[in-house]
């Protein structure tokens, strides 16, 4: 399933130059077939560190907040627009959004 999804994503992508593929160290992402596809397409591979199962949890939580509360899961017209939206979302999250756990 992941190989089909990866191939479909690469096929549909407009530009994969400089792309970084980040994942946990799940066996599906470490397989020879999967990593060969990434390397063949010159996609940089980034993975969590070995034996740090909680490392990805914080990133997933932050990504979820940015997508759900700040709508960063939309398709942007340009990289510049995506960067501006991300910068604004992070500023709102850090400076304005109420953090109940901090009173």
Interval 48-70: pLDDT, tens: 776 565 666 767 787 888 888 88
pLDDT confidence of residue 51: 59
Distance CA 57, CA 43 (A): 24
Phi, psi for residue 20 in degrees, rounded to 5? -120, 125
Phi, psi for residue 45 in degrees, rounded to 5? -105, 125
Predicted TM-score (pTM) of the model is: 0.53
Confidence of residue 88 (pLDDT cuts 50, 70, 90): very high
Q: What angle do CA 69, 98, 68 make, to 5 degrees?
A: 10
Where is average pLDDT lowest: 3-7, 50-54, 74-78? Answer: 50-54
Residue-averaged pLDDT of the chain: 85
| Strand-pair partners of 21 | 45
Which two three-digit tokens encode residue 33? 């077939």
């Amino acid at each position: 399933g992941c190989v089909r999804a990866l191939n479909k994503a690469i096929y549909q992508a407009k530009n994969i130059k400089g792309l970084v593929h980040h994942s946990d160290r799940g066996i599906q992402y470490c397989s020879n077939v999967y990593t060969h596809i990434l390397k063949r397409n010159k996609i940089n591979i980034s993975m969590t560190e070995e034996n740090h199962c909680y490392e990805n949890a914080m990133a997933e939580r932050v990504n979820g907040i940015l997508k759900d509360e700040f709508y960063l899961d939309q398709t942007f017209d340009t990289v510049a627009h995506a960067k501006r939206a991300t910068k604004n979302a992070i500023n709102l999250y850090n400076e304005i959004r109420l953090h109940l756990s901090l009173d």
